[in-house]
Structures are given as C-alpha cells and as structure tokens.
Structure 1
Amino acid sequence: MRLWSLHPEHLDRIGLVACWRESLLAQRALHHPTGGYGRHPQLERFRAAPDPLLAIAGYLAGLAAEADARGYRFDRTRIARPLPAGVDLVRLVVTTGQLDHEVAHLLAKLDARSPADAARLRAATVRAHPSFVVAPGPVASWERT
C-alpha cells in the first residue's frame, strides 16, 4: 500500500489510479481495523487524526480533484464520509524528509514505466497532497526504507 504524501499532480496515470484504489482500501481498513490492512504502517498518520475517516475522506477528495483535472472520473460516492460543505480538510503533518524519500521512490518507478513523467517530476517544484502540512524533519518512523 502506498498513500503518497506528494501532491497527486506528481503521479502518472498508473500511480493516480493505484493510489485511489489503495486509499479506498485504507478507508475500509480505518472503518474496520481488524485484519488485512488494518495495521498497515501507512495508516498510522490517519489513525492519529482526531477523525481518521474524515482525514481519509479529505485525502480521497484530493485524489478525485486531480482525476477531475485530468478528465478522469473517480466515483466520489465511494468516499464513506464526504467532507461537508464549508468543512476544512483534516490537515496531517508530513516531513521534508518523507517527501524527499517519496520523490526518490516515485522517480524510481517512473524511470522504469514512464520516463516522460519522471522528467516532468524532476523539473517540478514538489508539493504535498492538500491534506498535508509540510514540516522539517526526517523520513517518517512508519516508512520502510
């Protein structure tokens, strides 16, 4: 499971679709935490949020917004607790070290499957997913390096 902290604009088509699918699995695991992905390390940051289901809903909404911008149609009805109008995203913290790690990880994938997207990422100013606030720090403790 890979729930990217990077802004979904940095993902290629395969990465965006995979992240949507895995985020839906994460939503299910947060709702029913026993077995399977329920204890997956990437879910720690969502479980630590005051409202984990609202946090993953905001994350999914960010992916869906990127899909909309690309002309894809992700089924937003699959978001268990859509953000009510006027409610801000649950903002999670991601460190600069974690973002750097994820950029390197994504570049390795893109170099193999989509060199044009890898070049685009290398030239980009890297941003975090809208659900995250960036803070200085190392790679996250839950990350498998």
Structure 2
Amino acid sequence: MRLWSLHPSLLDRAALVAGWREALLAQKVLAGGTRGYTRHPQLRRFQAHPAPLESIGGFLTGLQEEATARGYRFDLTRVLHPAPPASLPPIEVTAGQLAYELEHLRAKCEHRSPEHLALLPAPGDPVPAHPLLRVVPGDVEDWEVR
C-alpha cells in the first residue's frame, strides 16, 4: 500500500491511479470493512487523526480533484466522507518523508514514464505535499517501510 504524501499533481498516471485504488482500500480498512491491512504502517497517520474516515475522505478528494483536472473519471461516490482537504485538520508530514517519496517516484518514473521526470521538482527544490498534509521539519517518517 502506497498512500503518497506528495501533491497529487506530481504523480504520474500509474501512481495517481494506484494511489486512488490504495486509498479506497485504506478507507475500507478504516471503516471496518475488512480484517486485512488493519496494522499497515501507512494507515497510522489516518488512524491518529481526530476524524479518520473524514481524513481519508479528504485524501481521496484531493486525488479525485487532480484526476478530474487531467480528464480522468474517479468516482467520488465511492468516497464515504468526501471533503475538501483544506476543510479538515491537517496531518503533519516531514520534509524528509516528502524527499524520500519524491526519489521513490523518480525511480519508478525512470522505468515506466520517463517523460514525467521533467515535471518533478529538481533535487533541493521544495516538494509540495498533498493538500491534506502540512509539512514539518524532520527525517523520513517512522511508519515508512524502506
């Protein structure tokens, strides 16, 4: 499961589509609809949010908005609690996590969509986060599986 902390506009097509699918699975887990993945490390930040289902709904809404801007059709009716990400208390993410994810995405794009590499921030440039997230100083998050 990869719930990208990166701003959805940075994701290539494959990462955006996979991120949508994985976040829908995360929503199902948080809603108690499955017994699997309940302890997945990427869910910790949503489980710790004061409103877990609303936070994953805001996360999904952010992905859906980017998909719509690209002409894709992600079905917002699949989101249990859709909400503009800015309307929710933000989830903190470290700058180190964003840098780590950007390099992870860059490695993936080298193989599957090299044309997308030019759209990614250059090393050392600020890395925008998903609109639900607020960037704070720090290293890679402890929930990240390396």
Task: Confirm or deny a common fold (TM above 0.5).
Answer: yes
Greater shift after overlay, 24-33 or 130-139?
A: 24-33
Runs of 4+ in 1 over 6 A off after TM superposition: none
Which amino acid is the alignment partner of residue 89 of structure 1?
L
Residue 102 of structure 2: aligned partner: 103
Aligned residues: 143
Q: Aligned to 2:93, what secondary structure does the other structure show? A: strand
Residue 89 of structure 2: aligned partner: 90
Residue 67 of structure 2: aligned partner: 67
Residue 81 of structure 1: aligned partner: 81
Residue 139 of structure 1: aligned partner: 140
Aligned-partner Cα distance in 2 for 1:44–1:133? 16
Query: Equivalences for 1:32-51 in 2 at 5 Å?
Result: 32=32, 35-51=35-51
> Any gaps of 5 or more consecutive residues in structure 2?
none
- CA positional deviation for 1:118: 1.6
Contact 1:96 1:136 in 2 (8 A): yes
Greater shift after overlay, 24-33 or 47-56?
A: 24-33
> Any gaps of 5 or more consecutive residues in structure 1?
none
Which amino acid is the alignment partner of residue 92 of structure 2?
V
Greater shift after overlay, 2-11 or 110-119?
A: 110-119
Residue 18 of structure 2: aligned partner: 18
Which amino acid is the alignment partner of residue 111 of structure 2?
A
- CA positional deviation for 1:19: 0.3
Q: Aligned to 1:39, what secondary structure does the other structure show? A: coil
Residue 129 of structure 1: aligned partner: 130
Identity among equivalent pairs (%): 56
TM-score w.r.t. the length of structure 2 is 0.92
- CA positional deviation for 1:33: 7.0
- CA positional deviation for 1:94: 0.3
Aligned-partner Cα distance in 2 for 1:56–1:90? 12
Q: Aligned to 2:135, what secondary structure does the other structure show? A: strand
* 1:27 matched to 2:36: no
Which amino acid is the alignment partner of residue 138 of structure 1?
D
Greater shift after overlay, 17-26 or 112-121?
A: 112-121
Contact 1:6 1:127 in 2 (8 A): yes
RMSD, aligned α-carbons: 1.7
Q: Aligned to 1:38, what secondary structure does the other structure show? A: coil
